Chains A and B, each alone.
Chain A
């Protein structure tokens, strides 16, 4: 599938940033405040603004209410998409949201960050019919936003808890998997203790995705919404192995769910890494940006190189560009088809002026008075099915190198007890780990793609399985 095909058929138009109005501060080095306040606001505004009521009606009318709908089958959480769209078309946004949230309590964030062009919207029959799928993601956002506004305004929640079971479940990690599990467990009548290592709940929704995908503090609003069901007691700054331990959780709770994500990252393995200023993990760069009260305080290099090929690489690269970096290059060791960033994300990067270079692996960091000044890559090729260096070296001048070459599981606390394979916790179809009474989901497991929506499904399925186990 060529890039141009994908973008023309996707309902999501890759948002581009308008050129800075007042000129960019082009000084070298990693500095903050390269742009004017208006330019920051424009660059980090909602990338896919909400549909108006009229737009939602027009779009909802396009849905064919398919039999055994392909869109629903393509959704990891199996949202009844034809039904929720039909509910929008009959002016029942809250009922529509109920349909969505019943399958996916984080339908609001998923509507914003799902790669719909490779999920529901790719499967939409109108994609086959006329190359223009129904804008399922935006319709989902329309309905869920209405529900969240209502819940916020009236301090209500669309779901009621079942009669108390008397059981207590520990949920470790308050990202999409953990929040989803916690919500469903609470709904089923269990009391939930929710632990997270950081200062805020939300996991990657709060710390790990591009700001323009969920502006206006949406991640925290959604956390509040999810917790609105009650019965979930959050505890912050508690990390598995540091403050809490699996063995004590197993002893103190009736069940444990791990949604701990991948807490560490791969390193380039090059000399100077960790010493040279200006070389850092992309995920930390994104987290700092997300937590900044004022984007003008977030420093960015003048020539940024991002190493990696996933969503994190794109999120870091595009945001670096939107912070005013003069040039941003993504270097990836394989070809476009191998990139974990979807075709849409790759297109988004290009539209924002990011240069994507393929078949390059990092081989050397160059420094100058303690700071990175350049990075060298060796060209690669597939030879006899193996990725092999060709010996040809290319050097990019760079004052900021962001690494996004994969995150890794931190499993010190349970290494002996639980089966871990290829850096992921092994679970069965019910998300049960090899350890009795412990379930897991999200990026720390190998159940599906590392997507928010997959994590939500893991949390939901694990909660249902825990409920069955606790009532057996």
Chain B
């Protein structure tokens, strides 16, 4: 059976599935339940500086979007960092870590951008015997209005500065949690690395307004008629997170920087995908907040079974293996030709492939053949765009098949032309010309 043990910055956990810093990790009772359920680690909900406790709204904190059958695919929240007294959190962290020594216990922190404030909290956190700290530079609502959270994460110089303070004032591994509410995640990651951070974690939540109440004419959910943007997470944000993780993994400056991936991870497959893009651990929140902690059982068994099937004995066996295949558009093989193929035995004749191709793409799928309802690909029109595959309700009914010989009836060109990309394409004014 595959070995799921994870060693991230020296922080050991029996599996790579951590609960992200969020409502599920705000208190001892929840975290104990999580560990009993089998989670490998937690990032304790963000602690702030000592003083008057944080105040949350008493109206709704969460909003959601659903897909069919009311499946929750996106969640947003306006909850702030922990609203419990610092000393209680610290005491509980220490208790839980002692009770569960084999689990990862990372503590998320957010204090004002002053070195003394960081020094002070770092000292107290170290006393809990936790395994590491995560700097919350991502929270996009509320705290960012007070110069913390995303307000720090959006300025690379601040990221670097605070990361450096933490490294200088603590023996603990430092993970910088990044906000996606920026234009290029690489600048933030590079700054964290320059500041000496041991790792980055991403993504934090995305600025979002979930919906508008058309009776109240106000954002929904609203608090007494007024709404504020919140942080968006859940399955719908996974592709955004995956891109940002990939960008950091393949950036020359940050390549090799350990990553704890966050963003819509719901199943073992999501986790495996982030790890294939170099993540050392994955952090989960929305899936647990949708289904409860028990989902980790599926994640662990699924990952283990897949690793067994693929012959990967440890996480390191496949970690980062997909990074080399993530590239820029300009390096994609323009001579690679695929055509859609519809398995007529699997086809249920809903006709969605036809109508989307007809209305919005290339008119490359029939609806009638010899007068009968039948959906077939017209190779002379098919550009292999994959839209039909994506809209087909039946798994594997439509597939893209590589054309390796003969002539592409659409272009009149040979299918077997070898690799060539945009950099040398004749239509590219900046193409690299072969030496004459």
Binding site for B on A (CB under 8 A): 57-58, 61-62, 64-70, 89, 125-126, 128-129
B373 within 8 A of A: yes
With A68-B367, A70-B373 known as contacts, the answer to whether A61 contacts B69 (CB < 8 A) is yes
Are A67 and B69 closer than 8 Å at their CB atoms? no
Are A126 and B348 closer than 8 Å at their CB atoms? yes
Contact with A along B350-371 (1 / 0, CB 8 A): 1110110000000000010000
B324 within 8 A of A: no
Hey, which chain A residues are within 8 Å of B69, CB to CB? 58, 61
Choose one: A57, A64, A128, A129; the contact of B70 (CB below 8 Å): A57
- What is the bound-complex CA distance between A66 and B347, given in angstroms? 13
B317 within 8 A of A: no
Closest CB-CB distance, B349 to chain A, in whole Å? Answer: 6
Binding site for A on B (CB under 8 A): 68-70, 348-352, 354-355, 367, 373, 393-394
Least CB separation from A127: chain B residue: B348
Are B394 and A66 closer than 8 Å at their CB atoms? no
Are B351 and A61 closer than 8 Å at their CB atoms? no
Hey, which chain A residues are within 8 Å of B373, CB to CB? 68, 70
Hey, which chain A residues are within 8 Å of B355, CB to CB? 67-68
Are B352 and A66 closer than 8 Å at their CB atoms? yes
A-B contact pairs, 6 of them (CB 8 A): A61-B69, A61-B70, A64-B350, A64-B393, A68-B351, A126-B348
Q: Rank and list the top 6 A-B pairs by shortest CB-CB distance, nearest first.
A: A67-B351, A67-B355, A61-B68, A129-B348, A125-B348, A66-B350
Are A129 and B393 closer than 8 Å at their CB atoms? yes
Are B394 and A67 closer than 8 Å at their CB atoms? no
Choose one: A58, A65, A70, A129; the contact of B352 (CB below 8 Å): A65
Closest CB-CB distance, A262 to chain B, in whole Å? Answer: 35
- What is the bound-complex CA distance between A328 and B394, given in angstroms? 46
Are B354 and A128 closer than 8 Å at their CB atoms? no
Choose one: B70, B350, B367; the contact of A125 (CB below 8 Å): B350
Hey, which chain B residues are within 8 Å of A64, CB to CB? 350, 352, 393
Are B354 and A67 closer than 8 Å at their CB atoms? yes
B348, B349, B350, most chain A CB atoms within 10 A: B350
Closest CB-CB distance, A170 to chain B, in whole Å? Answer: 42
- What is the bound-complex CA distance between A125 and B392, given in angstroms? 12
Hey, which chain A residues are within 8 Å of B351, CB to CB? 66-69
Least CB separation from B71: chain A residue: A61
Hey, which chain A residues are within 8 Å of B348, CB to CB? 125-126, 128-129
- What is the bound-complex CA distance between A62 and B393, given in angstroms? 11
- What is the bound-complex CA distance between A67 and B394, given in angstroms? 15
Are A67 and B70 closer than 8 Å at their CB atoms? no
Are A67 and B367 closer than 8 Å at their CB atoms? yes
Hey, which chain A residues are within 8 Å of B349, CB to CB? 66, 70, 125, 128
Hey, which chain B residues are within 8 Å of A68, CB to CB? 351, 355, 367, 373
Are A129 and B367 closer than 8 Å at their CB atoms? no
Hey, which chain B residues are within 8 Å of A69, CB to CB? 351
Least CB separation from B67: chain A residue: A61
Least CB separation from B69: chain A residue: A61
Hey, which chain B residues are within 8 Å of A62, CB to CB? 68
- What is the bound-complex CA distance between A69 and B348, given in angstroms? 12
Are B352 and A67 closer than 8 Å at their CB atoms? yes
Least CB separation from B68: chain A residue: A61
- What is the bound-complex CA distance between A68 and B359, given in angstroms? 13
Hey, which chain B residues are within 8 Å of A128, CB to CB? 348-349
Hey, which chain A residues are within 8 Å of B394, CB to CB? 129
- What is the bound-complex CA distance between A410 and B397, given in angstroms? 55
Known: A65-B352, A125-B350. 12 other contacts (CB 8 A): A61-B69, A62-B68, A64-B350, A64-B352, A64-B393, A66-B349, A67-B351, A67-B352, A68-B373, A69-B351, A128-B349, A129-B393
B349, B352, B393, most chain A CB atoms within 10 A: B349
- What is the bound-complex CA distance between A62 and B68, given in angstroms? 8
Least CB separation from A126: chain B residue: B348
Closest CB-CB distance, B343 to chain A, in whole Å? Answer: 13
- What is the bound-complex CA distance between A276 and B205, given in angstroms? 84
- What is the bound-complex CA distance between A129 and B394, given in angstroms? 8
Closest CB-CB distance, B156 to chain A, in whole Å? Answer: 44
Least CB separation from B391: chain A residue: A64
Least CB separation from A58: chain B residue: B69
Hey, which chain B residues are within 8 Å of A61, CB to CB? 68-70
- What is the bound-complex CA distance between A129 and B351, given in angstroms? 13
- What is the bound-complex CA distance between A128 and B350, given in angstroms? 10
Closest CB-CB distance, A130 to chain B, in whole Å? Answer: 9
Closest CB-CB distance, A122 to chain B, in whole Å? Answer: 13
Closest CB-CB distance, A241 to chain B, in whole Å? Answer: 46
Hey, which chain A residues are within 8 Å of B70, CB to CB? 57-58, 61
A66, A126, A128, most chain B CB atoms within 10 A: A66
Closest CB-CB distance, B390 to chain A, in whole Å? Answer: 14
Hey, which chain A residues are within 8 Å of B393, CB to CB? 64, 129
- What is the bound-complex CA distance between A142 and B394, given in angstroms? 28
Least CB separation from A73: chain B residue: B373
Hey, which chain B residues are within 8 Å of A126, CB to CB? 348
- What is the bound-complex CA distance between A58 and B68, given in angstroms? 8
Hey, which chain A residues are within 8 Å of B68, CB to CB? 61-62, 89
- What is the bound-complex CA distance between A247 and B354, given in angstroms? 54
Hey, which chain B residues are within 8 Å of A57, CB to CB? 70
- What is the bound-complex CA distance between A69 and B351, given in angstroms? 8
- What is the bound-complex CA distance between A26 and B172, given in angstroms? 88
Closest CB-CB distance, B393 to chain A, in whole Å? Answer: 6
Least CB separation from A61: chain B residue: B68
- What is the bound-complex CA distance between A320 and B349, given in angstroms? 42
Closest CB-CB distance, B149 to chain A, in whole Å? Answer: 36
Least CB separation from A123: chain B residue: B349
Hey, which chain B residues are within 8 Å of A67, CB to CB? 350-352, 354-355, 367
- What is the bound-complex CA distance between A256 and B355, given in angstroms? 43
- What is the bound-complex CA distance between A265 and B60, given in angstroms? 67
Hey, which chain A residues are within 8 Å of B367, CB to CB? 67-68
Hey, which chain B residues are within 8 Å of A129, CB to CB? 348, 393-394
Hey, which chain A residues are within 8 Å of B354, CB to CB? 67
Closest CB-CB distance, B247 to chain A, in whole Å? Answer: 35
- What is the bound-complex CA distance between A61 and B393, given in angstroms? 13
- What is the bound-complex CA distance between A66 and B367, given in angstroms? 12
Closest CB-CB distance, B395 to chain A, in whole Å? Answer: 11
- What is the bound-complex CA distance between A126 and B350, given in angstroms? 9
Closest CB-CB distance, B342 to chain A, in whole Å? Answer: 14
Closest CB-CB distance, A126 to chain B, in whole Å? Answer: 7
Closest CB-CB distance, B217 to chain A, in whole Å? Answer: 18
- What is the bound-complex CA distance between A371 and B348, given in angstroms? 57
